[in-house]
Chain A
Amino acid sequence: MTGRALDPGAVSTSAIRTEGLVHVYDGATRALDGVDLAIARGERVAIVGQNGSGKSTLVRHFNGLLRPTEGRVLVDGADVADRRVAHLALTVGLVFQDPDRQIFAGKVRSEVAFGPRNLGRRGAELEGAIDAALVATGLDKDAETNPYDLGYSRRKLLALASILAMGTPIVVLDEPTTGQDARGVERIHRIVAELSASGRTVVAISHDMRFVAEAFERVIDARRADRARWLPSRGVRRDRLADARIDVP
């Protein structure tokens, strides 16, 4: 993935910026080849593209899980280079694709509590954050249930709730709708809208084109075929879609 997706007016209010970001795996594979992008605060951005186009690699730079081979990554105006992952977790919440790679608690509520507790939340503030996250994901009635008694799609919602409760200004979702039925997708759509309405920045990797067209305002397309080029941001305006009543982009 390479190229530029800079929004002219966004530089000073960027939630996330990358400058010439290069990432090389194992000394040989160039997953990211000089990516310049800027995501403004409060924006809803979807990253789409074929498998292997570097999407997951890119977003893992936002919270420090991966470090650039070359170039810089700035979150909230500051270079992430000197900040630990645990510290960046205060700003960037990343929801992984596979919920079973993070669930360890015996109860839904305890699972959701893990993230915010790590960030130092306690008492009423903590409980409030957990409650809100459970309600948003429809898990409030299952607060005492064992996560593995929930089906896979609800466990995915649990993973999402775990990050929502952290209250981070930037939320990154990796394939949030895979395995969800129509109701699940609607729920996630609502959550994205609510996050944005409260001023938080949402970035999602997705190959569900309908979800992308409906829930996001900007699409970054990483083309696998020609690594040297990728489409600049393409505005997909929801009201225009609504007029035409066309749901498929």
Chain B
Amino acid sequence: MATVESLGAFVIGGYLGPIAIIGLAILPAAASARVAGRLVRISLLLTLPIAISVVLVSVFTRAGVHVLFSIGPFDATAEGVDFAGQTLVRLFAISTSIGLFGLTTEPRSFVLDLERRGLSPRFAFIALATLEAVPAMVERASVIASAQRARGLDTEGSVRARLRGVLPLVGPVILSSLTEVEERSLALEVRAFGRPGRRHLLWRIPDSGTQLIVRAVLLLALVAAIAGRITGTFPSLP
């Protein structure tokens, strides 16, 4: 959970200030959670599309004086390259921090922790139900596929045959989900899911003193960075 809050700080911090330094803080954290390799790979993959367009746009259209080379009417400037570089590093910092969050946080614990800190139980329910919705749908779809195959639906044949199979496969998934909605929501009401007010949660989400301190420090660093940037007391870094 501490990771969550710390990363919130990181993300915002990544916009301003010394990006390279932040990059140094994220990777060690990732290493301690043993996800460094995956993190780098995933972040690179995710930022690649944006990175390409950023590079193309800024290198060629950024107003600048020192022209490096030209393609047609477009001039590649040193200023453009510099800007592109800075933007890319920022992007990478953001994607790695979000990635770190995604790889180290269990969604369920996150939602429950939010509820413990004041999120309405209804929102918590919606978040958790959404998380579970996909696996449940997949399971349902697989049962439906079996039932239709048992009625002779050919799922291994030609493309035309498979297209014909779309409605019998998708139809029951949607229909049964919709028809179950009413009974589902009734069952939820019976179990007092609609009750206003707080709940006393069964789960204890571990939160040590160290995490508390780390969060506080990061938050202070963020505030300082923003203040410094605004007041212009921050030195310009390469």
Point out residues on A near B: beta carbons under 8 Å. Answer: 60, 63, 65, 84-86, 89-90, 93-94, 96, 98, 100-105, 114-115, 118-119, 148, 162-163, 166
The reply to whether A89 and B150 form a contact with Cβ atoms under 8 Å apart is yes
Q: Check: B148 CB closer than 8 A to any chain A CB.
A: yes
Q: Check: B156 CB closer than 8 A to any chain A CB.
A: yes
Q: Check: B172 CB closer than 8 A to any chain A CB.
A: yes
Stretch at the interface among B93-101, B139-147, B209-217: B139-147
Q: CB within 8 A of B151: which of A84, A98, A148, A166? A: A166
The reply to whether A86 and B172 form a contact with Cβ atoms under 8 Å apart is no
Q: CB within 8 A of A119: which of B152, B156, B180? A: B152
Please, what's the 1-or-0 string for B145-169, where 1 marks a CB less than 8 Å from any CB in chain A? 0111111111111000000000110
B144 CB contacts on chain A under 8 angstroms: 101-102
Extra inter-chain contacts (12) besides given A89-B150, A101-B144, CB under 8 Å: A65-B146, A85-B149, A85-B150, A86-B149, A89-B149, A89-B151, A96-B150, A98-B143, A101-B147, A103-B175, A105-B171, A115-B151
The reply to whether B150 and A94 form a contact with Cβ atoms under 8 Å apart is yes
Q: Check: B231 CB closer than 8 A to any chain A CB.
A: no
Q: CB within 8 A of B156: which of A86, A114, A148, A163? A: A86
Residue tally, chain B, CB below 8 Å to A: 23
The reply to whether A65 and B151 form a contact with Cβ atoms under 8 Å apart is no
Residue of B nearest to A100 (CB): B176
C-alpha gap A163/B147 in the complex (Å): 11
Give the top 7 A-B pairs by smallest Cβ distance, nearest first. A118-B152, A104-B171, A102-B147, A89-B152, A115-B151, A86-B154, A100-B176
The reply to whether B151 and A102 form a contact with Cβ atoms under 8 Å apart is yes
Point out residues on B near A: beta carbons under 8 Å. Answer: 140, 143-144, 146-157, 167-168, 171-172, 175-176, 179-180
The majority secondary structure among interface residues of chain B is: helix
C-alpha gap A166/B140 in the complex (Å): 24
B157 CB contacts on chain A under 8 angstroms: 86
C-alpha gap A96/B144 in the complex (Å): 10
Least CB distance from A173 to B in Å reads 12
16 sampled A-B residue pairs with Cβ under 8 A: A84-B154, A84-B156, A85-B155, A86-B155, A94-B150, A96-B143, A100-B180, A101-B144, A103-B175, A104-B175, A105-B171, A115-B151, A148-B175, A148-B179, A163-B151, A166-B152
Q: CB within 8 A of B172: which of A90, A101, A162, A163? A: A101
C-alpha gap A43/B234 in the complex (Å): 88
The reply to whether B167 and A93 form a contact with Cβ atoms under 8 Å apart is no
The reply to whether B154 and A118 form a contact with Cβ atoms under 8 Å apart is yes
Q: CB within 8 A of A100: which of B150, B155, B168, B172? A: B172
Residue of A nearest to B144 (CB): A101
Residue of B nearest to A88 (CB): B150
Residue of A nearest to B149 (CB): A85
C-alpha gap A86/B152 in the complex (Å): 4
The reply to whether A104 and B172 form a contact with Cβ atoms under 8 Å apart is yes
Q: CB within 8 A of B167: which of A89, A104, A148? A: A104
Given the contacts A65-B146, A102-B172, A103-B172, A114 and B151 also touching, CB distance less than 8 Å: yes
Pick from A93, A100, A105, A162 the residue with the most CB of B within 10 Å: A100
Q: CB within 8 A of A115: which of B146, B152, B180? A: B152
A104 CB contacts on chain B under 8 angstroms: 167-168, 171-172, 175
The reply to whether A101 and B143 form a contact with Cβ atoms under 8 Å apart is yes
C-alpha gap A90/B154 in the complex (Å): 12
C-alpha gap A86/B157 in the complex (Å): 10
The reply to whether B176 and A65 form a contact with Cβ atoms under 8 Å apart is no
A105 CB contacts on chain B under 8 angstroms: 171
Q: CB within 8 A of A101: which of B149, B155, B176? A: B176
Least CB distance from B138 to A in Å reads 14
A102 CB contacts on chain B under 8 angstroms: 144, 147-148, 151, 172
C-alpha gap A130/B157 in the complex (Å): 26
Least CB distance from A179 to B in Å reads 14
